[in-house]
Structure 1
């Protein structure tokens, strides 16, 4: 059984170990999420714990997907805070565990974040991902528009500089 739910601040704190496991798996598999190898569980847990204040304040919304009770994926949404940009948000840290890929979890998590943004009055989403990655295909096939590629934008987990694609999506009621 698959469930997707937004984590409350308390649920987030109780999920840090599982979120860290997921992040380590993604980085070990080569996902460009801002970390380089070797990447240990302690560092992943520390990164997630550092997000707790933003989660508690509503500055970062985190959803998790569980398959048969096991955390299999996550996505976060970071609403813009400037007065002239409250109509937009950024999608970050979309990841699915290697063992759960191929089941449509990325698309389901992304759709959940998109609908939550729309429900909150957000009309524009932004994100970035490694050019040529599987994630890029998810966004392209999901109606996102690539508006640019920056060469050598970020290092992959092995330290190799990679190009990064930047995307946006206008949200509308359907």
Structure 2
């Protein structure tokens, strides 16, 4: 249960590069990813997800963050990461105005308290600061996240049936969304 709003912050390049801080962050981000995948979230990984694989994923994200290729946002409660979202900035030359939103994850213990909505709003501010005018994301068709994105003004583009698998191996459709950011 959440008694206070989480602290939201962008992970800077120096923090992402620092070995000790990076290891601590990767561990906490891996905890969130493992919880989400165990809870059935289709976010690129299958269950069971070895902790080493989750850590390796976050180490790659932190390296990309250190290179300025990603915006990495975290939501923290009492010094622990309970949510995260990314904007992928490293896109083709003809798309300098756009970013892909990736891995919007909230630990099950912190859901239904506005953490996801706050993370998305903060990410939009950071994307604007990076000169991005269009954001694109995909999510499981019919999943809880669709309501979050629609309430935040995202526009549905369409669905692709059987696009991915749920962590237990069942196929699922994916819905694509976009949002134009105000200048």
Q: Same fold (TM over 0.5)?
A: yes
What stretches of structure 2 of length at least 5 have no aligned partner? Answer: 17-21
Aligned equivalent of 2:11: 7
Query: In angstroms, what is the RMSD of aligned CA positions?
Result: 1.3
Measured against aligned partners, the alpha-carbon deviations of 1:54-95 in whole angstroms (never above 9, x if no partner) come to 111111111110012221100001114322210100110001
Task: State how far apart, in whole Å, the 2-side matches of 1:42 and 1:167 are.
Answer: 31
Aligned equivalent of 2:95: 85
Alpha-carbon shift at residue 141 of structure 1 (Å): 1.3
Alpha-carbon shift at residue 152 of structure 1 (Å): 0.2
Task: State how far apart, in whole Å, the 2-side matches of 1:104 and 1:32 are.
Answer: 20
- 2:166 is aligned, of 146, 152, 156, to 156
Task: State how far apart, in whole Å, the 1-side matches of 2:129 and 2:14 are.
Answer: 23
Task: State how far apart, in whole Å, the 2-side matches of 1:72 and 1:47 are.
Answer: 17
Task: State how far apart, in whole Å, the 1-side matches of 2:78 and 2:59 are.
Answer: 25
Paired residue total: 173
**CA contact under 8 A between 1:76 and 1:91: conserved in structure 2?**
yes
1:140 match: secondary structure: helix
Are 2:130 and 1:126 aligned? no
Aligned equivalent of 2:19: none
Aligned equivalent of 1:146: 156
Task: State how far apart, in whole Å, the 2-side matches of 1:154 and 1:109 are.
Answer: 24
After the TM superposition, which parts of structure 1 deviate over 6 Å for at least 4 consecutive aligned residues? Answer: none
Are 2:170 and 1:171 aligned? no
Aligned ranges 1:1-174 → 2 under 5 Å? 1=4, 2-12=6-16, 13=22, 14-173=24-183
**CA contact under 8 A between 1:60 and 1:78: conserved in structure 2?**
yes
